[in-house]
Amino acid sequence: MDSSSSGASKPLPDSFFERADESDDAHFYLTARLVTHIDPATIAALTEFYREVLPAGADVLDLMASWVSHLPSGVGYGQVSGLGMNAQELAANPQLGDWSLHDLNRDPELPYEDASLDVVLNAVSVQYLVRPVEVFASVARVLRPGGLSIVAMSHRCFPTKAIRVFHHLSGGDRLQLVARYHEMAGGFADIQRLDRSPDGADPLWLVVARRA
Ligand SMILES: C[S@@+](CC[C@H](N)C(=O)[O-])C[C@H]1O[C@@H](n2cnc3c(N)ncnc32)[C@H](O)[C@@H]1O
């Protein structure tokens, strides 16, 4: 991505968000996929990162969740909620205390109260959002001051459902784009881009933003 076009106020082109499969996401996610989407070493690196940055007692939302949330065991979190598209996957997730079915591409507003959460996670799924700036504006709304938005990315995807621009971006450019989503959404400070990729496994690129 051209860094000269990264002004927070400049809108992102509509063409970024086109997808090969523009049909209703509900159809695509009707079938449960009880699989993992990144290598075990990459999952371990993500879990270790969560262990480092998520405080015990935190109220956590796993956005675009499935049957695994990659949270470390043995840490007493507060309420852990999940939001995703497949009831069978969410019901099978042992780390969730509650879950909701919600299509963020139809309605980017999160069904949670203002300032009710400490951490919002999004693991290996941000490439499926067609209205990401609205989603991250809602993430800012539901986070308490000082709370964290953590977006983890890698290089695998469901190609027909991933937005066009993700197919053309390097890891560094994906980080830049997701950082920009947060800048454009507003309400975030301290937006960091991290590379925690383990050797010889799927990469792990992270954007971490703090609710101002
Ligand atoms: C590649 S999976 C990742 C699941 C999980 N976060 C993980 O780390 O294994 C993509 C997830 O994004 C969710 N998802 C895709 N499109 C969505 C949408 N429009 N609204 C909400 N969730 C969506 C699906 O339910 C699916 O669980």
E-strand ranges in the chain read: 60-63, 80-84, 98-101, 117-123, 143-153, 188-195, 205-211
State whether the beta carbon of 39 lies less than 6 angstroms from ligand 1.
no
Residue 190 has pLDDT above 70, yes or no: yes
β-sheet with 205-211: strand ranges across: 98-101, 80-84, 60-63, 117-123, 143-153, 205-211, 188-195
Which secondary structure element, helix H or strand E, spans residue 58, and what is its range?
none
Per-state percent for the chain, helix, strand, coil, to nearest 5: 30, 20, 50
The pLDDT, as a whole number, for residue 107 is 98
Share of the chain above pLDDT 70, in %: 96
184 alpha carbon, distance to own chain's centre: 16
Residue 204 has pLDDT above 50, yes or no: yes
Residue 165's contacts (CB-CB under 8 Å, 6 or more residues apart) are 1, 15, 16, 17, 177
State whether the beta carbon of 104 lies less than 6 angstroms from ligand 1.
yes
DSSP state of 11: P
Residue 164 forms beta bridges with which residues?
Answer: none
pLDDT tens for 65-108 read: 999 999 999 999 999 999 999 999 999 999 999 999 999 999 99
Which SS3 state, helix, strand or coil, does residue 186 take? coil
Residue bearing the CA closest to ligand 1, atom 16: 128
The pLDDT, as a whole number, for residue 4 is 34
State whether the beta carbon of 29 lies less than 6 angstroms from ligand 1.
yes
- Give residue 142's identity as a one-letter amino acid code: V
Specify the higher pLDDT residue, 27 or 9: 27
Q: How far is the CA of 8 from the centre of ligand 1 (A)?
A: 26
The pLDDT, as a whole number, for residue 156 is 86
pLDDT tens for 145-169 read: 999 999 999 998 889 999 999 999 9
Residue 189 has pLDDT above 60, yes or no: yes
pLDDT tens for 29-73 read: 999 898 888 999 999 999 999 999 999 999 999 999 999 999 999
Share of the chain above pLDDT 90, in %: 90
State whether the beta carbon of 204 lies less than 6 angstroms from ligand 1.
no
In degrees, rounded to 5, the angle at the alpha carbon of residue 101 between the alpha carbons of residues 34 and 113 is 130
Q: Residue length, the chain?
A: 212
